[in-house]
A and B are shown apart, each in its own frame.
Chain A
Amino acid sequence: MWEVALIYGFINSVILALTALGFSLTFGISGVSNFAYGAMYIFAGFASWLLLNKLALPFFLSAAIAVILTAGLGAAMYRFVLLRVRGLVISEVIATFGVGLIILELFRYLGFSGFEYTLPVFSDGSLLIGNTYVDYQRIWIVGVGIVLAIGLYLFTHYTKIGLAFRGIAQDEHTALSLGINSDRIAGLSVAFGSGLAAIAAILILPRGTIAVNDGYDVLINAMAVCIIGGLGSSVGVVLASFLIGYAQIMTDILSGPHWKMIISLVAILVILVVKPSGLLGKQKELEERI
């Protein structure tokens, strides 16, 4: 049993990190909390499904187009909704949550529910690790998750846009004074974050059906991981993913799967009470509050 917990805890942790990566990236760069994040995830799932089943495109092509479409949706949301309320945190949250609601409930309204809404796995079969079987899709998830994390690090440290990302994250005014169009870069960060949500969806959704309600769960999980790890801290995201990832698997094993979702919410509450800026977060306003 402990072997199962160890292996599946690890996989669950990578899944959490993968789902949270985009949310964290967008917030870390532009300070925008994208509450439409879960909707972007589900949008990517259905978009890919439609391209695959209605236009009969090959799976990887439909997945790639879905990622691009989702990133485009993020960019459009920034351009037409967020840009108007940029800087007013509560308005950003309400606006993005509203966009997310519209997307998710529109899918529900149009009847996108049922067992036929499922994406194919990348490759069939499974691998025996010790005495535990792990299907190839989960191996894919772990592999791509790790590659993506390393890729993001290299991207933000060694490319022009990556450097601009870090510039506006550290001081938007200075970035502006040095010729960086911070609105454009912030828009890109929302598009990138949405694209990452789409990649996570394409990898993770084949394990089950694409369900509208998962959009809300993905958002809660992404927020839990980011709040616990410390908003904007990428190391924090990984750390928190492993904490919650293992906690969820242990709860699952010890008291049944329906308690799993509670863990994230309880963890958010505990961390907000004990260390409001998260494990590795640096929210000066919170730390120095009188």
Chain B
Amino acid sequence: MSDQNNHQKDAGLILRVENLSKSFGGVKAVVSVSFDLYEGQLLGVIGPNGSGKTTLVNLITGFLKPDQGKIVYKGKEINGWAPYRIARIGIARTFQMIRPFAELPSFKNLIIPLYSPRVKALSGGKYGDLDAVAKDYLEEVGFERESAVTYKSAGSLPHGYLKRLELAKCLALRADLIILDELFSGLSIAELASIVPIIEKLISEGKTVIMIEHRLRELFRIADRVVVLNYGSVIAEGIPSEVMERPEVRKAYLGSE
């Protein structure tokens, strides 16, 4: 905690993204993006397809290196760090195309993050009964205790359970900042109704969440703030109900006609 910023206005600041840019060849995927995120907030990142949302996630989590700009997490500059180091300081992410360890049983998928040095340090150097801990996390995201899905190989899980497993992995890593890339996509209304409270609970426990989403209605119900990207740039930022009223946002979403 020694490197925490003293400025009053920075109290509770967990992530600061400053002038972040990334191009692929001639395509500018992310253009000078800046935003601040405070502890315990839920930030939505929205924008039309190809607006740079996933590139932004990949930059923050180290899967891509920025061309320009700074990413500061809890006072530490992390731009250019390897993904595993970023995971170890408490930033977890999910992937838009879900990527479980397909041949491992669901609960074993969680043993891998449970073995990470971060979790070991946070739990006082002891691992304990990891199978039981893994099952606790699965229960937290809605797997029934000792149910068949707990032991099934992750590759054979139904879509809804795969999404829950993604969430559980972030929990098992004991991340403070959780970045969910289109978690809601492909979920039924009923599945959404059961997964939204899990996210609300995370927030109430003090976690910070970034959600990349296309399902705006569901997102707006829980987001504190949204950032709107278009062609890689931030075109609007604010509380959800206001942002959607802005003409530039309507234009980006509905087209210029």
Verify B117–A179 contact, CB threshold 8 A: yes
- Please tell me if the beta carbons of A179 and B99 are within 8 angstroms of each other in the complex: no
Chain A min CB distance to B105 (Å): 11
Task: Answer yes or no: B93 CB below 8 A from chain A CBs.
Answer: yes
Quick one: closest A residue to B98, CB to CB?
Answer: A174
B106-125, CB < 8 A from A = 108, 111-113, 115-118
Name the residue of chain A whose CB is nearest to the CB of B117: A179
A residues 154-191 near B (Cβ < 8 Å) are 160, 163-164, 166-167, 170-171, 173-182
Contact A178 B112 (CB under 8 A): yes
In the complex the two chains form, is B112's CB within 8 Å of A180's CB? Answer: yes
Asked if A163 and B111 make an inter-chain contact with CB atoms under 8 angstroms apart, the answer reads yes
How far is B83's CA from A171's CA once the two chains are assembled, in angstroms? 14
Chain B residue contacts of A176, Cβ below 8 A = 62-63, 82-84, 87
Cβ–Cβ < 8 Å partners of B63 in chain A: 173, 176-177
Interface size class of A (residues with CB under 8 A): 10 to 19
Shortest distance from the beta carbon of A164 to any chain B beta carbon, whole Å = 7
For residue B102, CB closer than 8 A to chain A, the reply is yes
* Cβ-defined contact, A178 with B173, below 8 A: yes
B115 and A171 contact, CB distance less than 8 A: no
Q: In the complex where A160-B115, A163-B108, A180-B116 touch, is A173 in contact with B101 (Cβ < 8 A)? A: no
The answer on a CB contact under 8 Å between B88 and A170 is no
B3-21, CB < 8 A from A:
none
- Expressed in whole angstroms, the Cα–Cα distance for A178 and B173 within the complex equals 7
Residue-by-residue, is B53-72 near A (CB-CB < 8 Å gives 1, otherwise 0)? Answer: 00000000111000000000
**Residues in B neighbouring A170, C-beta threshold 8 A:** 101-104
Residues of A near B113 (CB, < 8 A) are 178-179
B112 contacts across to A, CB distance below 8 A: 163-164, 167, 175, 178, 180
Residues of A within 8 A of B61 (CB): 177
Give bound CA distance, A166 to B101, whole Å.
Answer: 8
Chain B: CB-nearest residue to A157:
B108
- Contact in complex: A171, B87 (CB < 8 Å): no
Q: Are B104 and A177 in contact (CB under 8 A)?
A: no
Whether B99 contacts A174 by the Cβ 8 Å rule is yes
In the complex, the answer to whether A179 meets B88 with C-beta atoms within 8 Å is yes
Residue in chain B with minimal CB distance to A173: B99
Q: How far is the CB of A182 from chain B (nearest CB, A)?
A: 7
Q: Which residues of B contact A160 (CB under 8 A)?
A: 115
Q: B82–A181 contact, CB under 8 A?
A: yes
Are B100 and A174 in contact (CB-based, < 8 A)? yes
> Which chain B residues border A166 with CB–CB below 8 Å?
101, 103-104
Known: A163-B108, A163-B115. A179 touches B87 (CB 8 A): yes
How far, in Å, is A4 (CB) from chain B's closest CB? 40
| Chain B nearest CB, measured from A282 CB (Å) | 10
Given contacts A164-B112, A174-B169, A179-B84, 7 further A-B contacts (CB under 8 A): A167-B101, A170-B102, A174-B99, A176-B62, A177-B92, A179-B117, A181-B84
A sample of 15 inter-chain contacts (CB < 8 A) reads A166-B101, A170-B103, A170-B104, A171-B100, A171-B101, A171-B102, A174-B95, A174-B99, A176-B84, A177-B87, A177-B92, A178-B87, A178-B92, A180-B116, A182-B84
